[in-house]
Amino acid sequence: MIRLAELTSKRKWVWLIVGIWIILAGALSAAPSANDYKVNTGENDLPKDTQSVVASEKLENYFPDDSGLLGLLVFYNEKGWNKDNYQQIDKVSEWITDKTDEFAIESSVPFHLFPNETKEAFLSESGTTLVLPLMMKDSVEMADINTAVNAIQQFADELLVAGSLKITGPAGIASDTIAIFSNADLVLLFSTIALVLVLLIVIYRSPLLAIIPLVAVAIVYQVVDRVLGMFAANEVFAIEAQSLSIVMILLFGATTDYCLFVFSRYREELRKTENKYEAMREAVKEVAEPIFFSGGTVFAAMLVLLLATYGPYQNFGPVFAITIVIVLLAGLTLVPALFTICGRRAFWPAIPKVGEKTLQKNRFWSRIGSFVTKKPFVAGGIVLVFLMINGLNALSIQYSFNLIKSFPEDMNSRVGFEQLEAEFPAGELAPVTVLLEKKSTYTFDNEELRALENLSENLLSLEGVLSTTFPDMDVIETGGRIGSRWLDDQEKALKFDIVLDMNPYDKEALDALTQWSEQKDDLLVESGLSLDEYAIHFTGQTAKQADIRAINDRDTLIVIIVVTLVIFGMLIFHSRSLIAPIYMMATILLSYASALGLSWFIFENFFGYEGMSYRIPLYSFVFLVALGVDYNIMLISRIKEENRRFSMQESVRRGVALTGGVISSAGLILAATFGVLMTQPILELFMFGFIVSIGILMDAFLVRGMLVPAIVSILGHWNWWPSKIKKDSGEKEFTNE
């Protein structure tokens, strides 16, 4: 890596390197963009052997007419719906029936054909809300769903006078998801560009120092976008819309960070020599290895996500691994080449001059370094207590498995869903479907009828059950037949619903489904149904979310353990020490827990949020741990470098002073770029951006600025055990510059 980076300090190579990157970016413009293949929902998020997936596939096999994507048409009228204004809903129903083939609609309720007495069955108790189900065709494209939902919504908006229509359910949610991300990427892109440009100009007061990183970002973005697009086009992996938003932020933040690391050291070397090529050669000699290892830790952490079994986590891994590899290559080649070409002019108007003292330019961090080395227990203790208090609050986090709660409050699907919550029993929003499978055909003889009645009673006695749609066995004569609503054509599967007495997405509902799944064999035996002949399955949104929770808990534990071990191993290899990696890794983990706990305290007490998306802790961990290592590596590498010539205490002071400015600037810009995610309309992205921003700022200013230097000062030369620092020949230790 050092040899590769050193090419950027050779006159004949710098233009060639920049040219290669520009040609590559231009050639890839013919490839598809990643935006063309991003998806908003995953059909195969759970492993095939998961109970809810198995149950869903069996349900589709036995009852193929029930497959498809459900939409719920929620008609609301504060004055109430009745026979005097039903005709408005009739016209919407009739229009949908006429447009069934045009909009890939599988089926819809012919409300306009029903008598008034039947229509009242679709009304809420208050009479203000009326719900009509709609089924989209199975495996229909997301764009087609969006077209259908928008067409129905537009027709109803123009027609309805007495009330309003909001479309929710899976179809409505899918349509709103597309709408949310339709312009979000452009807003995110331009917001990030503007923010980075302003911050660089404000911090460094040099126009070229602001423009060069953005030029590098533009080239890298083009390459990353088209490479990911080619992988997605060939179905190597899927790209979620949210992942693509975070990729953009990672790309901007990491590329800018590497720019800061390079030009900070380049400026330092330009104060020692007139030759810009010689200055870059010395600069990359010291920063290439830290940059390589910092990028390598992010790459390794992303690859660990492939060990997860949950679909979004698996797809997340390769997307970000490919991104960071390209960013890392740019950081070692393109970025140094651009700065070498510009030379001293890059720093105008504050052009570095030979003979200037670098420490005199970093007075603030020099004072911090002096304070930490003189009073390490005080400096480190204050930060440690602060981090631990925040970290303990992470234990009180409440997690949400309800996707729609992440939508903006005025989105149609959320408004419709919350209207249903207010007017109908919560469990009716997403009932649990039960499939009772039999190897032979159902006979409904006396013995089987008694066993089925026992099963119905046992199900009703379960905790969390409000009611069931179990068929009334009293009306079935021996040898009789149940309608197709309950029984499949082969008469081998019995289907009915369980309505919960709680919100189907709450923790208590997921707990109930988990318990039912664990005791389903006991339910059959207690009811008098043989396990050799019968099998019971639970499916539906609550069953799926219960499985997602179990898979997520398993994946989170495995990823955290493996990422920690992998990065710990890389730190040992990089530092050639067994001591330093211990506190480096420990402070990173503590910083992550602190960011999570502090963020939750703010979310709960200031924003009034009731829960956090279950995916946020894992995503935040991977980013905060992987990115936090960057600053650890830069600081420890510089302290170790200074220790070749100075005493340990002086090396710590100089290390903090010489890296404090660039690390704090890099942290501020990286935190700001992730903070741009807070402008997105999805609550999950808002929370993720907030947590990562808080964590990065803690890392840059508190952990890397005070805690780690304090620990290094306390341990002294034990930091490098079992290796030893080789003093530079002809040099002696100094206590000041």
Q: What is the pLDDT of residues 377-392, one digit of tens each?
A: 999 999 999 999 999 9
For residue 441, give the 3-state DSSP assignment.
coil
* Per-residue pLDDT at 5: 66
Q: How many CB atoms lie within 10 A of CB 331?
A: 27
* Per-residue pLDDT at 244: 85
CATH of 431-539 among 3.30.310.80, 3.40.228.10, 3.30.70.1320, 3.30.450.40? 3.30.70.1320
Tell me, rounded to whole angstroms, the distance of Cα 654 from its chain centroid.
38
* Per-residue pLDDT at 183: 64
308: left (phi over 0), alpha (psi -120 to 50) or beta: beta
Please state the rounded mean pLDDT for residues 225-234: 93
- Identify the CA nearest to 215 among candidates 256, 172, 161, 163: 256
**In this predicted structure, which of 50-59, 358-367, 612-621, 728-737 has the lowest mean pLDDT?**
728-737
Q: pLDDT per residue over 422-446, tens digit each?
A: 998 888 878 999 999 999 998 888 8
Tokens of 139: 């495996």
- Across the strands, what pairs with 311? none
Measured in degrees and rounded to the nearest 5, phi and psi for residue 540 equal: 115, 180
> What CATH class does 358-411+549-737 carry?
mainly alpha
Tokens of 189: 């892109």
**In this predicted structure, which of 87-96, 207-216, 474-483, 622-631 has the lowest mean pLDDT?**
474-483
Q: Is 1 a residue whose pLDDT tops 70? A: no
Cβ within 8 Å of residue 417, ≥6 positions away: 168, 404, 429
The angle at the Cα of 424, spanning 422 to 427, to the nearest 5 degrees, equals 110
605 secondary structure, DSSP code = I
- Amino acid letter, residue 211: I
Tell me the whole-structure pTM to 2 decimals. 0.86
Q: Residue 13 in contact with residue 340, Cβ under 8 Å?
A: no
Q: pLDDT per residue over 477-509, tens digit each?
A: 544 456 667 888 888 999 999 999 988 988 999
Band of residue 736 on the pLDDT scale cut at 50, 70, 90 = very low
**Distances from the Cα of 37 to the Cαs of 183, 226, 228, 231, 240, in angstroms?**
15, 11, 9, 10, 9
* Per-residue pLDDT at 484: 61
- Identify the CA nearest to 729 among candidates 644, 654, 638, 648: 644
Measured in degrees and rounded to the nearest 5, phi and psi for residue 158 equal: -75, -30
164: left (phi over 0), alpha (psi -120 to 50) or beta: beta
Please state the rounded mean pLDDT for residues 549-557: 95
* Per-residue pLDDT at 323: 94
**Distances from the Cα of 694 to the Cαs of 179, 383, 592, in angstroms?**
29, 15, 9
Q: Which residue has the tokens 């690390």?
A: 663
Band of residue 35 on the pLDDT scale cut at 50, 70, 90 = confident
CB burial of residue 489 (10 Å; 0-12, 13-18, 19+): exposed
Band of residue 144 on the pLDDT scale cut at 50, 70, 90 = confident
Band of residue 734 on the pLDDT scale cut at 50, 70, 90 = very low
Tokens of 172: 């409505």
Please state the rounded mean pLDDT for residues 333-361: 84
Tokens of 537: 């399955």
Give the orientation angle of helix 648-675 with respect to helix 708-715, to 10 degrees: 160
Q: pLDDT per residue over 73-112, tens digit each?
A: 999 999 999 988 999 999 999 999 998 888 888 889 999 9
* Per-residue pLDDT at 186: 73
For residue 72, give the 3-state DSSP assignment.
strand
**What is the percent of the chain with per-residue pLDDT over 70, rounded to a whole number?**
94
Q: Is 558 a residue whose pLDDT tops 70? A: yes
- The CATH architecture annotation of domain 1-43+183-356 reads Up-down Bundle (1.20)
Domain 68-180 falls in which CATH fold? Answer: Alpha-Beta Plaits (3.30.70)
- Identify the CA nearest to 86 among candidates 123, 58, 59, 56: 123
Q: Residue 651 in contact with residue 643, Cβ under 8 Å?
A: yes
**Distances from the Cα of 299 to the Cαs of 17, 306, 325, 726, in angstroms?**
23, 12, 7, 31
Q: pLDDT per residue over 158-206, tens digit each?
A: 999 889 999 998 889 888 888 777 666 677 778 888 888 898 888 888 8
Please state the rounded mean pLDDT for residues 442-465: 90
- Identify the CA nearest to 59 among candidates 134, 138, 141: 138
Please state the rounded mean pLDDT for residues 20-26: 95
* Per-residue pLDDT at 731: 42
Band of residue 737 on the pLDDT scale cut at 50, 70, 90 = very low
* Fold match between domain 1-43+183-356 and domain 68-180: no
Where are the domains positioned within the chain?
1-43+183-356, 68-180, 358-411+549-737, 431-539
- Amino acid letter, residue 10: K
- Across the strands, what pairs with 539? 433
Q: Residue 308 in contact with residue 619, Cβ under 8 Å?
A: no
Band of residue 732 on the pLDDT scale cut at 50, 70, 90 = very low
Going across the sheet that includes 105-108, the strands are: 105-108, 129-136, 69-76, 164-168
Q: pLDDT per residue over 681-716, tens digit each?
A: 889 889 999 999 999 999 999 999 999 999 999 999
Q: Which residue has the tokens 């919407």?
A: 92
**What is the percent of the chain with per-residue pLDDT over 90, rounded to a whole number?**
51
Q: Where are the alpha helices (DSSP H) in 343-489?
A: 363-374, 376-393, 412-423, 446-460
Q: Residue 320 in contact with residue 302, Cβ under 8 Å?
A: yes
Cβ within 8 Å of residue 279, ≥6 positions away: 266, 269, 270, 272, 273
* Per-residue pLDDT at 360: 54
* Per-residue pLDDT at 75: 96
